[in-house]
Chain A
Amino acid sequence: MSPALVTTLVGALGAVALVAALYAVTSRYVLRSVLAFGAVFFLLGLVYMALGFTFVGLGQILLYVGGVAVLVVFAFVSALSVREAEAGMAPSAGVGAIAAALTTALLSAAFYGLTRSLPSSIEPVHDGSAVAIGTLFLTKYLLGFELMSILLVAALVAALALVRHGRRERAAEAPVSYVPAVLSAPPKRPRKRPMGRGRRRAPKAARERSEPPAGEAEERSGKPDEQSGEATAAPRRKRASGGARRGGGRRTKGEGS
């Protein structure tokens, strides 16, 4: 790439990345903010590629966009819920603006001095490839490379341990079922009851009339067809009040026979 093209690319991509970063930091919308962060990381990866370091840019996009941004979205979807108040600015935003201006000013001054000391003609890098960087990893930075793998494993295990530990503590305090209540059947209910209910419900005119207690009482009688008449609706409802006790008694009888 010609230097002019590199300059244009870096300037354009960098400007968009800066706007996206500002939006990500100030937006009240969680998902838009996270996506803007992802866009910043992606654009920075493109900037690295434009500067000649394709491998670093690819690693950046792979890890930051594919890893970090997706992980954060996943955390918001699965575990965290954001209240309205949390989406806004903290009271220290004014201090933050001053600190940000100071940081930018100081770093810009330092970089200004640095760029003045650079030689005026710089050749674009052509050896920023995976081969050159990989060779460097396996020779000069071998120890750091190995430590990095240990760090990544340790971080993964630590993340798992932190999340699982919190869950176990909470489960010890108050048993929380992660299965929806609809799916987890109470243990004292006999096994054949749901089937009976399904069979009974289909053809009955009693379906729109009867309340759930009535339905359960009818089930317990075990003879659905005889009780479909309208005359039995009232007794059925009456029996429903004592349904649990008698149901239990009947169950033992049924098991005994």
Chain B
Amino acid sequence: MKTAIALALYLSAALAGVGVFGLFARRNVVFVLMSIELLFNAAILALVALAASGLVALDGAAVALFFVGVGVSEVAVGLALAVALYRAGGTADITEFAGLRG
């Protein structure tokens, strides 16, 4: 069981890395949003793994469910923002939103 938990924790680290890469490498706003979701899921996986280890008992699972709820509501608002941005600028390319550049 300890090996499984260690595996899950390393998987969480790798997923966080993939999420960070997507955050930088993607151009489309929606995929940047999904990369943030990947980071969220890495955190949730770490929480669940630690809950399974008994280190944080069942609280880890409860907080993980909170994380799922927060992540989903974030996607709902983020997608609406992406659609609004797309309507305002005619594109969803994140590199073209340079309106605040000095």
Contact = CB atoms under 8 A, between A and B. Distances in A.
Interface string B9-25: 11111111111111111
A10 B8 contact: yes
A120 B18 CA distance: 30
Interface string B77-102: 10111111011100111110000000
> By DSSP majority rule, is chain A's interface helix, strand, loop, or mixed?
helix
Interface stretch (A65-73, A182-190, A191-199, A213-221): A65-73
Interface in A5-37: 6-7, 9-11, 14, 17-18, 21-22, 24-26, 30, 33-34, 37
Contact of A53 (B20, B24, B61, B71): B61
Nearest to A74: B79
Contacts of A82: 28, 92
B81 to A, nearest CB: 6
Contacts of A17: 11, 15
Interface of B: 1-28, 30-31, 34-35, 37-38, 41, 44-46, 48-55, 58-59, 61-66, 68-77, 79-84, 86-88, 91-95
Given A108-B10, A118-B2, A162-B81, 17 more contacts: A7-B3, A48-B45, A51-B8, A53-B61, A63-B71, A68-B37, A71-B76, A71-B79, A82-B92, A90-B94, A100-B21, A104-B17, A107-B16, A119-B54, A133-B62, A137-B62, A159-B80
